[in-house]
Amino acid sequence: DADVTQTPRNRITKTGKRIMLECSQTKGHDRMYWYRQDPGLGLRLIYYSFDVKDINKGEISDGYSVSRQAQAKFSLSLESAIPNQTALYFCATSDLQGVAVGGNTGELFFGEGSRLTVL
C-alpha cells in the first residue's frame, strides 16, 4: 500500500459544486501539504500544516480550504468549484529532518495525485 494515499484519483464535476479531496498517510509525519500542478507552471503550494492545530496558506489558497482531521489526514475542499481549478492535485508529507534556519533539508513524499476536472 502507498504511504501517502489520495482519494479520489479522478473526479469530474460541474461548476459550483463542492468537492473534497482526501489525503491519508502512514509515514507518521507531522507535516502535510497540498500542491496543485498545471502544465508549464510546475507545482504551486495551496495549503500546508505542520501539525493538527497548525494550518497555513500557501501561494494560491483563494478558493480552497483545508481540514487537518488527525495527524494522518489532511483534506482539501473546493467550496464552489470553477473551471480554472481543473488541475492535478498532490498531497505531500515530510518530517522534521534537518530543519535549519533559512531553509530545510527534509524530503517531501508525494501521493499519486488527484485529477480534478471542473466543467
Q: Which residues bind another protein (CB under 8 A)?
A: 4, 31, 33, 35, 40-45, 48, 50, 58, 90, 92, 94, 98-108, 110-113
SS3 track for the chain: CCCEEEECCEEEECCCCCEEEEEEECCCCCEEEEEEEECCCEEEEEEEEEECCEEEECCCCCCCEEEEEECCEEEEEECCCCHHHCEEEEEEEECCCCCECCECCCCCEECCCEEEEEC
Report the nearest approach of another protein to the CB of residue 46 (Å). 12
Report the nearest approach of another protein to the CB of residue 19 (Å). 20
Report the nearest approach of another protein to the CB of residue 38 (Å). 9
For another protein, the closer CB: 63 or 106: 106
For another protein, the closer CB: 11 or 44: 44
Burial of 90 (0-12, 13-18, 19+ CB in 10 A): buried
For another protein, the closer CB: 8 or 16: 8
Report the nearest approach of another protein to the CB of residue 52 (Å). 17
For another protein, the closer CB: 9 or 15: 9
